[in-house]
Amino acid sequence: MTVTALIVAAGSGQRLGGGIPKQFRPIAGKPVLRWAVERLLRHPAVGSVRVVIGEGQQALAGDALAGLNIGELLTGGAERSDSVKAGLQAIESEAVLVHDAARPFCPPLVIDRLLAALEFFEGAAPVLAVGDTLARAGTELEDMVERDGIVRVQTPQAFRLDSLRLAYERWSGPAPTDETTVVRAAGMRVAAVEGDAMLDKLTTASDWESAEAMLAGRLVPRTGIGFDVHAFAGEGPLMLGGIAIPSERGLAGHSDADVVLHAITDALLGAAGLGDIGDHFPPTDPQWKGADSELFIAHAAQLVRGGGGVIDHVDCTIICEQPKIGPHRAAMRDRIAFILELPQSSVSVKATTTERLGFTGRGEGIAAQAVASIRLGTFE
Ligand code: CTP
Ligand code: MG
């Protein structure tokens, strides 16, 4: 069975409020919409993913989805169901998974259950039992509603594409909030499969806080180590820890030879298990000739955070006889903290000599060591 995932992301996020619509806001370092799309793209049964956005949201969506294989962005309408209908016109497959961008963390098992149910039903939706007591209420509490047999209905919802299109053609009611309503109204059967709390929709500020807390609880600490050496050569200034130190001699290197930033970059990449600086910025590549090493360290930080990670602390030791680091330490901490978007207290810069022993002792070059402490998501 060929399956297209249709992700609707054309809303304006009124109930969450604040700035840009919720689907484009980062949670754990990654836009909500990107989380949603990546999760569906990665499921082996999902052949393609298409995304429906609102008028005027192209730039936000382009940034959020950069590099993902989702074809052309589709344009939705005023109500969620208008966005779904616009999407249904643009896809061709036997089955469709209609999904809200505002539910970023879809577990693969839910998709398995939904698609398995399509063998016997026209549609399938993930549901969860309700734990709280249910009642009607205005300002005053009214009658209790029997909660036995009552469920919350989530997305993604799976349908045979022909069935869903037909059901929408026949639908004449007000804008429905999901597709099971439409399909059932057309007399078709929808399976209820087990949902997952990870699929709860981010609707209000309190949902957002709960999701952030849930993600934070799934982060595990990791540590990375970095080391680098550059020989003195040519003229100063000397780039060290992101600042230019007046010096008669500079350091030799393909880039600006900032050993401190290189060591921290490697520590960050090491903590994330993402290889080393040479893998990401090969010294054979002419585009990095004379490059500002801030690019390297900022890229490493972005890689950690892009995967939902958090950078807690970086510590480094500079090993040299000259220049004296003390007078520049605060400026280096400030600069590194600025590049890494960390408070200064999360960056440590230390220095030592080697008692005139070895290559650093003879003043032939500068070495730097770094350790990065990060937390990485286990919710991938
Ligand atoms: N959606 C859509 N087109 C619309 C309205 C909503 O594609 N005209 C999408 C949203 O982007 C979201 C999903 O439908 O991914 C569920 O809608 P909801 O949670 O209501 O999101 P918003 O409409 O953006 O939020 P609000 O109702 O608070 O404004
Ligand atoms: Mg809405």
Task: Give the pLDDT band (50/70/90) at residue 336.
Answer: very high
pLDDT at 19: 87
pLDDT at 358: 97
Q: Which of 8, 49, 51 to mutate to test the pocket of ligand 1 (most atoms within 8 A of CB)?
A: 8
Q: What is the mean pLDDT of residues 40-48?
A: 97
Shortest-distance atom of ligand 1 to CA 78: 8
Q: What is the mean pLDDT of the chain?
A: 95
Tell how far the Cα of 11 is from the centroid of ligand 1, in angstroms.
Answer: 4
More confident residue, 165 or 288: 165
Tell how far the Cα of 11 is from the centroid of ligand 2, in angstroms.
Answer: 6
The model's pTM is: 0.79
Shortest-distance atom of ligand 1 to CA 12: 24
Going by C-alpha positions, the residue among 291, 221, 228, 225 that lies closest to residue 254 is 291
Q: Which of 55, 80, 97 to mutate to test the pocket of ligand 1 (most atoms within 8 A of CB)?
A: 80
Shortest-distance atom of ligand 1 to CA 77: 8
pLDDT at 16: 95
Tell how far the Cα of 15 is from the centroid of ligand 2, in angstroms.
Answer: 8
pLDDT tens track for 116-131? 999 999 999 999 999 9
Q: What is the mean pLDDT of residues 92-99?
A: 98
Residue 379 has pLDDT above 70, yes or no: no
Shortest-distance atom of ligand 1 to CA 7: 15
| 57 alpha carbon, closest ligand | 1
Tell how far the Cα of 9 is from the centroid of ligand 1, in angstroms.
Answer: 7
More confident residue, 305 or 351: 351
Residue having the nearest C-alpha atom to atom 19 of ligand 1: 203
Write out the residue limits of the CATH 3.30.1330.50 domain(s) in the chain.
220-376
pLDDT at 108: 96
Residue 380 has pLDDT above 70, yes or no: no
Task: Give the pLDDT band (50/70/90) at residue 378.
Answer: confident
Residue 308 has pLDDT above 80, yes or no: no
Residue 114 has pLDDT above 70, yes or no: yes
Tell how far the Cα of 78 is from the centroid of ligand 2, in angstroms.
Answer: 9
pLDDT tens track for 173-205? 999 999 999 999 999 999 999 999 999 999 999
Give the burial string for 166-191 (b: 16+ CB within 10 Å, else e): bbbeebeeeebebbbbbbeeeebebb
Going by C-alpha positions, the residue among 5, 208, 228 that lies closest to residue 95 is 5
Neighbouring residues of 328: CB distance < 8 A, sequence distance ≥ 6: 240, 241, 243, 245
Residue 362 has pLDDT above 70, yes or no: yes
Query: Is the domain 3-217 a CATH 3.30.70.1140 member?
Result: no
Tell how far the Cα of 87 is from the centroid of ligand 2, in angstroms.
Answer: 17
CATH of domain 220-376: 3.30.1330.50
CB of 102 within 8 A of CB of 201? yes
pLDDT tens track for 26-41? 998 889 999 999 999 9
Tell how far the Cα of 328 is from the centroid of ligand 2, in angstroms.
Answer: 53
| Residues whose beta carbon lies within 6 Å of some atom of ligand 1 | 8-16, 21, 23, 52, 76-80, 82-83, 100-102, 201, 203
Q: How far is CA 55 from CA 107, 239, 265, in A?
A: 30, 46, 40
Write out the residue limits of the CATH 3.90.550.10 domain(s) in the chain.
3-217
| 178 alpha carbon, closest ligand | 1
Least confident of 199-208, 234-243, 282-291, 356-365: 282-291
